[in-house]
Amino acid sequence: MKNLVAIIAAFGIMFSAFPTVSAYAADTASASVSSETSVETTDMEHLAGEWKYQYTNTTMPVYVSPSDGGTVVINKDGTYKFSRTDGTVSSGKVELGLYTIGGQVFQSISLYEGQERMFGGYYHSDDPDIIYHGNNVASRLIRKSSAVVSIKDFVGSWKEQTADTNADIEVSFKETGSCEIKADGTYVYTDASGKTSSGIVYVGDETIGGTVIPALRFYNGNTLERASSYHPSRADQIYFGNGARVRFVRDPKVMLSGDANCDGTVDMSDVVLVMQALTNPNKYGINGLSDKHLTPQGRINADMDGSGLTVGDANAIQNKLLNK
């Protein structure tokens, strides 16, 4: 993925993008490209479905620090619907083309609302779930199924474990520090000697072998201190480095008793989330499809008696609110 991004950046291509609130006309590509045609790569079938529109509001690329701008649904008939996070909706048609840039063939995707070109980007099979646009990779469309994690999934306390000598970390390790990740994206790391450092953790991704992998990058100022890979099936572990010699494991410590949604307060929304997670786990449980699903830290906070999450915990939180 980084090589493809570098090719686009090197040519200085200007892509138009969905703004976060209001629309504006597109700029045309400034690079010199050669057009091609192919039935196999200009059909709509492989683009149909739900996409998240993401942009970066930092100096980092969008794959490092993505922010949610809304949802785009692309239909097989070549139409689309864009629902922004501010509640506004637009729709129109999708037009496809092929361009060769630096010896690689990219598919161009343009979304029009009437005669106005609202979005222009490039797609490549090496990144099948992402359509990048914007100078310096400032924004993109990413398949909704691939945009699966956010900072809230990592809020809480973590223990750092390092493999002991040459042993597999699953067999033998020593604890070398701890880290607290906060809902605002900041973190505080404490090493074994008690020395602390702090900064910002960005929850983004990288593409490996055509698959989007969630990734966390810990920055101290402008310095990248460490980067990690993460898989939702291992919700309580974050691995660092290719050799899997260092990892964070979740410290099952209650941050705020009853705070199921990890928003820093305890109210009826926490009761509702517990019940939703229990009755509809595919949507609201750990790794649920909803953006407001229960997180591992939320489950720890909501387990009022330490015996696992049940309806009784929802009742206990409600009774706490009623001062019973």
- Predicted pLDDT at 31: 33
- Predicted pLDDT at 152: 85
- Predicted pLDDT at 143: 93
Angstrom distance (rounded) from CA 191 to CA 193: 5
- Predicted pLDDT at 135: 57
Give the SS3 label for residue 276.
Answer: helix
Angstrom distance (rounded) from CA 263 to CA 278: 20
Q: What is the DSSP letter of 305?
A: S
Provide the 10 A C-beta neighbour count for residue 61: 21
Angstrom distance (rounded) from CA 233 to CA 236: 9
- Predicted pLDDT at 28: 29
Specify the CATH number of the domain 151-250: 2.40.128
Provide the 10 A C-beta neighbour count for residue 177: 20
Residue 94: closest CA among 152, 137, 47: 47
What DSSP string runs through 144-164?
Answer: TTT----GGGG-EEEEEEEE-
Contacts of 146 (CB under 8 A, 6+ apart): 129, 130, 205, 212
Cα dihedral 32, 36, 41, 42 sign: positive
Directed axis angle between helix 311-321 and helix 268-279, to 10°? 170
Angstrom distance (rounded) from CA 212 to CA 111: 24
Angstrom distance (rounded) from CA 67 to CA 76: 27
Answer for the pair 16, 117: CB distance below 8 angstroms, yes or no: yes
List the chain pLDDT tens, one digit each, 324 residues. 444 444 333 333 334 445 443 332 233 233 333 333 343 355 788 899 999 999 998 889 999 999 999 999 999 999 999 999 999 999 999 999 887 777 877 888 899 999 998 888 888 777 889 998 865 688 999 998 887 788 888 988 999 999 987 778 888 899 999 999 998 999 999 999 999 999 999 999 988 888 899 999 999 998 999 999 888 778 789 999 776 789 999 998 888 999 999 888 999 999 999 999 999 999 999 878 887 899 888 999 999 998 899 999 999 999 999 885
- Predicted pLDDT at 208: 84
3-state helix, strand, coil in the chain (%, to 5): 15, 40, 45
- Predicted pLDDT at 18: 52
- Predicted pLDDT at 27: 32
Hey, what are 205's tokens? 């991704």
Angstrom distance (rounded) from CA 3 to CA 240: 22
CB-count exposure of residue 236 (10 Å: 0-12, 13-18, 19+): middle
- List the domain boundaries for the chain: 2-143, 151-250, 268-321
Give the SS3 label for residue 268.
Answer: helix
Angstrom distance (rounded) from CA 91 to CA 111: 9
- Predicted pLDDT at 12: 35
Backbone angles phi, psi at 8, to 5 degrees: -65, -45
